């Protein structure tokens, strides 16, 4: 009931539910006591000369089934949530059931994870069982954003990239920290600081020139002095600063898409990327295996050796 702004809704639902059950009982009692209108057990209605409407009582099996249904509903509403804000005498909630099922699953998997606890990322990557578990964890937890092949999409990093293209996830330990705590990457709008008119486009062309991407040479030369505003984070050579999460602009990996327009949009409107923390959903043992799996994706020689 947390979605409602007033406790009056809880009272309303309770009253409607109780009146509904009482109405069912009243309807059954009324129908069972109905008497024949005429002495021949008919209602007195006749159609097409000889078709009469009988007033037969309800079948007993049907009546008791109806009564049983109402009684079951009443007992259910006493034991389980259903009457407004009343939680039921058993105090059952879907959250409690989910947590209990999670606890049982983790207890069942504990012997499997126990042997992984003392293994290094290199050893985990070389272990087929650990990587099979890591892949399932990845598909359940990470694939929604990064894709089932981990190559990401616009706004979601390609986890198979290695080297300078990775920001804060070069080692398995760094990956584990990001999985547990999440990560935010923010670039503020810089158009006002860059300048007016074509200055933003010129800077965009200069940024493209850093990676050897198609660009306008004249615009790039005009934008080079203005790049000083960007150098505070990305460095004077554009190779970024991993300590603050500023990406390398000299490679050809564009998280939000390459080309002049994409860079102009980034300079004008900024960027804000967020990876939510997964620490509440995964145990430390699961994080260890998942981090090793993700790390292995960017280590093709180690994966090939498996």
Alpha-carbon gap, residue 219 to 203, rounded angstroms: 8
What is the three-class DSSP state of 189?
A: coil
DSSP result, 30-84: HHHTPPPSSTTSEEEEEETTTEEEE-PPPPHHHHHHHHHHHHHHHHHHHHSS-BT
Query: Which tokens go with 223?
Result: 């934008």
- How much is the pLDDT for 1? 46
Residues of the chain with pLDDT under 70: 1-6, 34-39, 163-165, 168, 300-306
CA 220 from centroid of its chain's CA atoms: 41
What is the three-class DSSP state of 151?
A: coil
Q: How many CB atoms lie within 10 A of CB 27?
A: 11
DSSP result, 212-256: T-S--HHHHHHHTGGGHHHHHHH-TTS--BTTTTBPPSSSS--TT
State pTM to two decimals.
0.69
DSSP state of 7: T
Helix (H) / strand (E) element for 292: namely helix 284-297
Backbone φ and ψ for 241, nearest 5 degrees, come out as: -145, 105
Using CA atoms, how far residue 144 sits from 16, 48, 152, 288, in Å, is 41, 67, 9, 20
Alpha-carbon gap, residue 175 to 161, rounded angstroms: 13
pLDDT digits (tens, 9 = 90+) for 210-234: 999 999 999 999 999 999 999 999 9
Backbone φ and ψ for 12, nearest 5 degrees, come out as: -60, -50
The average confidence (pLDDT) of the chain is: 87
Query: Which tokens go with 73?
Result: 């509903």
């Amino acid at each position: 009931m947390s979605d409602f702004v007033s406790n009056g809704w809880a009272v309303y639902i309770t009253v409607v539910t109780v009146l509904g059950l009482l109405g069912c009982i009243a309807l059954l009692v009324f129908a069972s006591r109905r008497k024949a209108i005429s002495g021949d057990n008919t209602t007195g209605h006749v159609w097409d000369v000889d078709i009469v409407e009988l007033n037969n009582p309800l079948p007993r099996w049907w009546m008791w089934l109806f009564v049983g249904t109402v009684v079951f509903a009443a007992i259910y509403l006493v034991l389980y949530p259903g009457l407004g804000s009343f939680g039921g005498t058993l105090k059952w909630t879907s959250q409690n059931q989910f947590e209990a099922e999670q606890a049982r699953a983790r207890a069942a998997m504990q012997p499997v994870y126990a042997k992984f606890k003392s293994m290094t990322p290199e050893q985990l990557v070389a272990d087929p069982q650990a990587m099979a578990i890591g892949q399932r964890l990845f598909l359940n937890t990470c694939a929604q954003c990064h894709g089932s092949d981990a190559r990401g999409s616009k706004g979601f990093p390609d986890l198979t990239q290695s080297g300078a293209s990775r920001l804060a996830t070069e080692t398995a330990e760094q990956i584990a920290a990001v999985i547990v705590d999440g990560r935010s990457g923010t670039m503020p709008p810089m158009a006002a600081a860059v300048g007016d008119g074509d200055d933003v486009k010129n800077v965009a062309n200069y940024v493209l020139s850093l990676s050897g991407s198609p660009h306008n040479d004249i615009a790039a030369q005009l934008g080079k002095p203005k790049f000083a505003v960007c150098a505070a984070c990305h460095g004077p050579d554009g190779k970024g600063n991993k300590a603050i999460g500023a990406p390398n602009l000299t490679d050809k990996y564009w998280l939000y898409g390459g080309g002049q327009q994409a860079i102009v949009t980034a300079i004008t409107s900024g960027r804000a990327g967020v990876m939510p923390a997964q620490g509440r959903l995964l145990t430390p043992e699961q994080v260890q295996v998942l981090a090793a799996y993700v790390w292995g994706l960017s280590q093709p020689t180690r994966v090939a050796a498996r």
